[in-house]
């Protein structure tokens, strides 16, 4: 999936009311993961389609950094900022990435255990 017309996150970015984002600004939006792996499982998604992290250059660095700021803001809103949370960004086949539009998972609300 490499074109914006086929990308579900691009569709969501264009039609934010349809997906009820938990957060939105001019650069990113966030939604609840449809298949949550933890009591809190949000996706922080840039409005802009970037086909791969291989295409992240200086022009995209501010957006990527902004995703971390938004993650902490959402963690505060969801009440997990103090208890702790995990941020995951899958890239490529071995990571199990399903949607080829970079996005950050925010997981929290329980003991997440070791990475593995």
Residues 76-115 that bind ligand AMP (CB under 6 A): 90, 96-99
> What gap in Å lies between CA 104 and CA 112, rounded to an integer?
16
9 binds Zn ion (CB under 5 A): yes
Indicate which single residue of 41, 49, 103, 105 sits in contact with Zn ion (rule: CB under 5 A): 49
33 binds ligand AMP (CB under 6 A): yes
| Active-site residue, selected from the candidate residues 41, 101, 103, 105 | 103
Closest approach, Cβ 78 to ligand AMP, in A, equals 16
Say whether 110 sits in a helix, a strand or coil.
coil
Closest approach, Cβ 46 to ligand AMP, in A, equals 13
User: Strands across the sheet with 28-32, in order?
Assistant: 23-24, 28-32, 40-46, 104-108, 85-88
Best CA proximity match to 43, nearest among 17, 78, 94: 78
Cβ contacts of residue 20 below 8 Å, gap of 6+? 31
Q: Which residues bind ligand AMP (CB under 6 A)?
A: 8, 31, 33-35, 43, 90, 96-99
Active site residues: 103
């Amino acid at each position: 999936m490499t074109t914006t017309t086929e990308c579900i996150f691009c569709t969501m970015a264009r039609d934010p009311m349809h997906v009820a984002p938990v957060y939105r600004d001019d650069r990113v939006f966030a939604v609840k993961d449809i298949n949550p792996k933890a009591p809190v499982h949000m996706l922080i998604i840039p409005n802009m389609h970037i086909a791969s992290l291989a295409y992240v250059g200086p022009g995209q660095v501010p957006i990527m950094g902004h995703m971390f700021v938004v993650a902490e803001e959402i963690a505060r809103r969801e009440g997990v900022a103090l208890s702790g949370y995990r941020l995951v960004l899958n890239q490529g086949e071995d990571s199990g990435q399903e949607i080829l539009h970079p996005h950050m998972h925010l997981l929290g609300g329980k003991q997440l255990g070791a990475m593995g």
